[in-house]
Amino acid sequence: MINTPKFPVSHEDRHLLCQEEVDGPLQGILEQATMHGWGTLETITAMEEVLRNLRLAYMHVDDDPKDSNEGHAFIHGRGGKENP
């Protein structure tokens, strides 16, 4: 579970709190993948690629990625300039 931010957007340590909040769920994904036979580094590499694609898909969104469904379609090859 990811908690609500404790700091305003302007706070200099907000990014650190966000890292702490997403660490647990990412560790959980890694643990599940390795329990099902995927290699640790293989899984981390896959996660990095997915995150890179998410960053590309959501670069055009100003404040809140959940406000746009276009990014989700882009990730799954159903939209965007690179995957028409």
* CB-CB contact of 57 with 71 (8 Å): yes
pLDDT at residue number 11: 95
CA distance 38 to 24: 19
Calpha distance 59→49 (Å, rounded):
15
pLDDT for the residue numbered 53: 96
Mean pLDDT split into 10-residue runs, the chain, 84 residues = 93 95 97 98 98 92 55 48 42
Q: Where are the alpha helices (DSSP H) in 1-84?
A: 14-35, 40-58, 70-75
Helix (H, G, I), strand (E, B) or coil at 80: coil
